[in-house]
Structure 1
Amino acid sequence: MTSHETTTPPGRPATAARTTSRDVARAAGVSQAAVSLVLGDKWRGRVSPAKAEAVRTAARDLGYRPNLAARSLRMGRTRTALLVVPALTTEFFARVYTGAARAAADHGFGVVLYPSPDGIGPARDPFDSAAATLDGVIASSMAAEALTALRDAGLPLVMLDSDPGDDRATATVNLDIADGVRQLAAHLTALGHRRITHLAADVDSWTFALRARAVTEALAGVPGTLLRREPSALAVDAGLHAAHAALTAPGPRPTALLCDDDIIAAGACKAVRRLGLRIPEDISVTGFDDLALAVAVEPELTTVRLPAEEFGEAGMRALMAVLDGGDAAAPALPVELITRGSTAPPAARP
């Protein structure tokens, strides 16, 4: 029996034996050696990408589970990765986990999820007793303060949505957040909006600092644009209060609210209606992320769709490349502007 085959549990008849690597090889049209290379993540340069994908697909379809204990002993690894996220209170990080876990399963890895107990902010001591049982870590920049202990643990670290120059990271994987902001700004200005308030997430992280810079830069080149900024926590009520402050501040009222995420935007929509205004006739509102919430509000939100599951997969693949001594560099994942009913040209001035 190869190290990739699973044994029949005690007391189970031999006729009920689980799928073996031979079954996977037959289904994928490759040799057992190729199955071993692919599932051991040693296939690069020895098996074609198409055949590697065929092996992974066959293994998933057949429910094949390799003998991880034997492989771990041979490779000196625990085959476990830690995913550190700030919260699971929104679906974005749940989808990141789904993608990471799927990619991990293709490599015979397990994923330990560590969200912040406080929702938004750093997790507490995730490495306190875990370093000896982990091969590596994937972490969001929003939970970056949880990573101080990595310097002592010596674990490889892949940072998501993080400054590529962060010296704590072994590798970084990013979404093209700046391009998403530019797409939103271009959409609003093309509609004719010139008085725009940025409802900016009041979170100290690289990704939200990047959004603020991108908004400023994108609108700086549009003549006659008045950009204001109102901070908001990542909550519906906070978005409501921030939007109310923006819409009732002295001076000309903004015609568009550009929000750092869909949750803030949902609160902004509530504020607009409570002031007796209409969306999008009086005020246009945009979000960011394209959560399920974006189509739960009325009118539905114009927003930027982030490929969260693909993001998680890319992070896990980068960690696997690091562990194998390969190149973990990857281009930023593209994002997509989704236009819906919450944006329209501004009302004509009286």
Structure 2
Amino acid sequence: MARVAGVSQAAVSLVLGDKWRGRVSERRAEAVRAAARELGYRPNLAARDLRLGRTRTALLVVPSLTNEFFARVYTGAARVAAEHDFGVVLYPSPEGIGPARDPFGSARATLDGVIASSMAADALAVIRSGGLPLVMLDSDPHRARAAATVNLDIADGIRQVAEHLLALGHRDFVHLSAALDSWTFQVRAETLAATLGALPDVTVRTEPSALNVAEARRTAERALSGPGPRPTALICDDDVLAAGACKAARRLGLRVPEDLSVTGFDDLTLATAVEPELTTVRLPAEAVGEAGMRALMAVLDGRAADATVLPVELISRASTGRPPILP
């Protein structure tokens, strides 16, 4: 390659190692790059990584493998990782959002960095103890103690739901909330309370539910058949909860949306599998994974990674309509 470029072997080494600035002219550096292209040169990644102490592997920690959102996060992260010749190990925490164990006994020995989605910083104490770079997704940015954070604009998503239902004329709400101590669900509850609580003619009460269809159905049935005026809209923290709410409505003989409007959150495949299809908030999960992996790549390269907030979008479908005229 030095012969083809017309430079010394030392100059080739500096250019290929990206250490040429100030030591090799731009003209000679370009000659080396042109020679590399002509000769089909590809760097020996294994040798380079051994020299740098790299494994070219990142760990993605998620609370669950059964939720489609985390599968999409992984898809986005793996796509960007492949562009950098990195691999991604997917690790579902055995305790859900609780404390995550080090999956390898000594994560530092086998990983270059960690990306954690929808986990509390305290839950990652064991994994963090190895001193690996950490990027946190969908987590409290003020408590993350991470090299970078990537979040969705959850608060704006809830505001979009509330404004959509208010514009339709709804004033009596039930918030079917996820019974999980998680930052993302806390934001939903706090934003909804702030948005609707300030309105004098609006009533809203919160009914917590486990994050599964069966429990959501039971909780929604109690909320819809209890004493007092029946709510005209159920605002659900998740599409899974919304599916349970729709089942509850059918069991009680209520039509969606003629008698009851139902909204979800996430825009999972489930949102268009139910009938009527759900009005919900679309979360760009793959973009979250992509942004998280790019942030980790930046940190590993010694560059700053700014906090990222990704926009979300209300998708209006057939599960919401004007409230019924009640006696």
Q: Counterpart of 2:178?
A: 201
- 2:205 & 2:109 partners in 1: Cα distance? 49
1:83 aligns to 2:60 (yes or no): yes
- 1:297 & 1:283 partners in 2: Cα distance? 15
- 1:259 & 1:37 partners in 2: Cα distance? 53
Identity %: 71
Q: 1:108 to 1:37 in 2, by over 3 A?
A: farther
Amino acid at match of 1:312: G
Q: 1:77 to 1:270 in 2, by over 3 A?
A: same
Q: Counterpart of 2:69?
A: 92
Give the counterpart of 1:134 among 96, 102, 111.
111
- 2:142 & 2:45 partners in 1: Cα distance? 35
Q: 1:337 to 1:220 in 2, by over 3 A?
A: same
- 2:74 & 2:243 partners in 1: Cα distance? 24
Q: Contact conserved, 1:137 with 1:158, CA < 8 A, in 2? A: yes
Q: What are the Cα deviations for residues 34-88 of structure 1, in whole angstroms up to 9, with x where unaligned?
A: x9799xxxxxxxxxxxxxxxxxxxxxxxxx9964312312332111110000011
Q: Which runs of 5+ in 1 are unaligned?
A: 3-31, 39-63
Q: Counterpart of 1:289?
A: 266
SS at match of 1:153: coil
Q: 1:66 to 1:233 in 2, by over 3 A?
A: farther
Mean alpha-carbon deviation: is it higher for 107-116 or for 175-184? 107-116
Q: Counterpart of 1:27?
A: none
Q: Contact conserved, 1:127 with 1:150, CA < 8 A, in 2? A: no
- 1:65 & 1:261 partners in 2: Cα distance? 47
Shift of 1:126: 2.9
Q: 1:84 to 1:65 in 2, by over 3 A?
A: farther
1:182 aligns to 2:159 (yes or no): yes
Shift of 1:121: 4.5
Amino acid at match of 2:92: P
Q: Contact conserved, 1:196 with 1:258, CA < 8 A, in 2? A: yes
Give the counterpart of 2:295 among 309, 318, 338.
318
SS at match of 1:332: strand
Q: 1:183 to 1:193 in 2, by over 3 A?
A: same
Aligned residues: 295
- 1:346 & 1:195 partners in 2: Cα distance? 9
Shift of 1:291: 0.4
Q: Counterpart of 1:259?
A: 236
Shift of 1:151: 4.2
Q: Counterpart of 1:29?
A: none
1:212 aligns to 2:176 (yes or no): no
- 2:193 & 2:16 partners in 1: Cα distance? 51
Q: 1:150 to 1:129 in 2, by over 3 A?
A: closer
Give the counterpart of 2:248 among 252, 271, 286.
271
SS at match of 2:234: strand
Q: 1:94 to 1:205 in 2, by over 3 A?
A: same
Q: 1:285 to 1:151 in 2, by over 3 A?
A: same
SS at match of 1:174: strand
Q: 1:127 to 1:149 in 2, by over 3 A?
A: farther
State the Cα RMSD in Å.
2.4
Mean alpha-carbon deviation: is it higher for 113-122 or for 260-269? 113-122
Q: Counterpart of 2:45?
A: 68
Q: Contact conserved, 1:85 with 1:143, CA < 8 A, in 2? A: no
Shift of 1:316: 0.5
Amino acid at match of 1:314: A
TM-score (norm 2): 0.84
Shift of 1:252: 1.0
1:302 aligns to 2:302 (yes or no): no
Q: Counterpart of 2:203?
A: 226
Which structure's CA Rg is the greater one?
A: 2
Shift of 1:220: 2.4
Q: Contact conserved, 1:180 with 1:304, CA < 8 A, in 2? A: yes
- 2:255 & 2:179 partners in 1: Cα distance? 26
- 2:303 & 2:73 partners in 1: Cα distance? 23
Shift of 1:122: 4.5
Amino acid at match of 1:138: I
Mean alpha-carbon deviation: is it higher for 118-127 or for 169-178? 118-127
Q: Counterpart of 1:154?
A: 131
Shift of 1:330: 3.6
